[in-house]
Structure 1
Amino acid sequence: MRENEAGWHIYDADGRRKYLNKDERTRFTTGAYALAPADRAFCLVLAYTGCRISEALALARFQIDVDRSAITFRTLKRRKVVFRTVPVPGHLCELLLSLPPQNQDRFWAMHRVTAWRCVRAMLDGLSIVGPMACPRGLRHGFGIHAATCNVPPNLIQRWMGHASPATTGIYIDAVGPEESEFASRMWQEP
């Protein structure tokens, strides 16, 4: 089980994954369309960007770049402000900009615990249970999805806001697309 410098694992102590797989991510994003526009946008921002829940809640209108179809997140890391831009589907930018502004031009005026419960209720309603059934599971699912789609590690690192390439490496190692390809060759008939 590979871990980064902080001791983080892609699996819990019992070997259960801590990320949403492709099917679960698809069910989550599809299920989001049954929600009110503000909740739908919140869920889609988490799923399509891999952002942290606090980063999503701090998101304001000026951070949406419709021309580039991207969202810029502000993160406080080691007492230093860091910005990162993540490409998103154009329809997400349009949905966000259609929402009425809340406190300080932000999209959502809710506490992080309320936001966490909203996501958890959505996952429970979709029968997605286990250590991956939380907002962090969406973040990890984004990293795994990007690695599966062969996004270069440096882009995954930038989009997720990882300080160290070793942290991003966990997602790459967990997927191992090349490893899966080699293994499938072993099962092919000559």
Structure 2
Amino acid sequence: MTLLRQQMTEAMQLRGLAERTQESYLSAIQLLARHYGSSPDQLSETQIRQYFLYLRNEKRVSPSTANVALNALKFLYAYTLDRPWPFGDLIRPRLPTKLPVVLSSAEAWQIIHQVRRPHYRVCLSLIFTCGLRLLEGVRLQVSQIDSARMQLLIRGGKGKKDRAVPLPPATLRLLRQHWSTHRNPVWLFPSPGPTRDQWASATTPVEESAIQKAFRRALTETGIAKPASVHTLRHSWATHLLESGVNLRLIQAWLGHSSPSTTSIYTHLTRTAEQQASVALEALTAGLS
């Protein structure tokens, strides 16, 4: 490990950045260093500008990937090199505004039931019925289940925030049944070993990539044409709750969103909202007849 990489890693740890963010930032800085064959702290402003033009015009990376590279470099300047950032927002790419994909309840269950391995199928069922992020579902621990209050206690979610989400009775029964197949004292979804007997002593949870691959395979086999991912289950959960009349602020708390504006995107996805809008428009145009 180079001294600069070590210093940046320590700076990110001190500022409490998530592990995934740290990995993404280090990878972005490493790609920049490889591109020029030089340490990033030795690069000129012109070289950095040219690098972002290269990402846009030649590599044609997505705006989100370019933003990760930009944020990583800004962190390097501010907290590792202690230098002022000379570019302002001049090279920040504009992110497109996209509505998330939503699966109907029938579509979601069609995909989940197509997953062959019970270990993965139960994990996806949990994610869908509780509106969890993939990492939250994979790393769920036995101690996080509060059956007395019918809640899941999500510890250290995105933004290092704890929250409680409702646990449907049917989901609790499914989790209990699944746990009885391995009885690991810590993990609901322990990393599967060569034999089921080893699940009980596993010290790590199942890999996220395994759940993602299982979902993609099931999606392909069902023939559903929507560009869905595991995270689509969370979007679908929130949208269906909103359609059923659940208060938006309550959904915001369950999702762990800091701002109601983040949650309000689901109002654009509900069929109920569209139907209400159609009724309102018909009323407005009644004078035309």
Would you say same fold, with TM above 0.5? Answer: yes
**Unaligned residue ranges in structure 2 (runs of 5+):** 1-94, 192-205, 284-289
1:161 CA displacement: 1.1
**Unaligned residue ranges in structure 1 (runs of 5+):** 1-5, 12-17
- Among 156, 161, 165, the alignment partner of 1:82 is 161
Q: Which has the higher contact order (CA 8 A, sep 6+)?
A: 1
1:128 aligned to 2:224? yes
What letter matches 1:139 in structure 2? R
Q: CA contact under 8 A between 2:251 and 2:263: conserved in structure 1?
A: yes
Q: How does 1:163-182 map to 2 (within 5 A)?
A: 163-175=258-270, 177-182=272-277
2:208 maps to which residue?
Answer: 112
2:18 maps to which residue?
Answer: none
Deviation readout 1:5-58 (Å, 9 max, x if unpaired): x765215xxxxxx221233124345x26x7554333211111111211111111
- Among 89, 103, 107, the alignment partner of 1:20 is 103
The 3 A distance-change label for structure 1 pair 168 and 58 is same
Q: Name the CA distance, whole Å, in 1 between partners of 2:156 and 2:103.
A: 23
Q: CA contact under 8 A between 1:10 and 1:19: conserved in structure 2?
A: no
Q: Secondary structure at the match of 1:172?
A: helix
1:9 maps to which residue?
Answer: 98
RMSD of Structure 2 on Structure 1 (CA): 2.7
**TM-score calculated relative to the size of structure 2:** 0.52
Q: CA contact under 8 A between 1:65 and 1:93: conserved in structure 2?
A: no
Q: Name the CA distance, whole Å, in 2 between partners of 1:61 and 1:145.
A: 27
Bigger share in strand: 1
**TM-score calculated relative to the size of structure 1:** 0.77
Q: How does 1:9-158 map to 2 (within 5 A)?
A: 9-11=98-100, 18-28=101-111, 31=113, 35-78=116-159, 81-98=160-177, 99=179, 100-102=182-184, 105-108=186-189, 109=191, 110-132=206-228, 134-158=229-253
Q: Name the CA distance, whole Å, in 2 between partners of 1:61 and 1:28.
A: 26
Q: Name the CA distance, whole Å, in 1 between partners of 2:215 and 2:236.
A: 14
Deviation readout 1:167-186 (Å, 9 max, x if unpaired): 10000232262441352574
The 3 A distance-change label for structure 1 pair 82 and 181 is same
Q: Secondary structure at the match of 1:162?
A: coil
Q: Name the CA distance, whole Å, in 1 between partners of 2:170 and 2:231.
A: 23
What letter matches 2:245 in structure 1? N
Bigger share in helix: 2
Q: CA contact under 8 A between 2:146 and 2:152: conserved in structure 1?
A: yes
Q: Name the CA distance, whole Å, in 1 between partners of 2:109 and 2:275.
A: 22
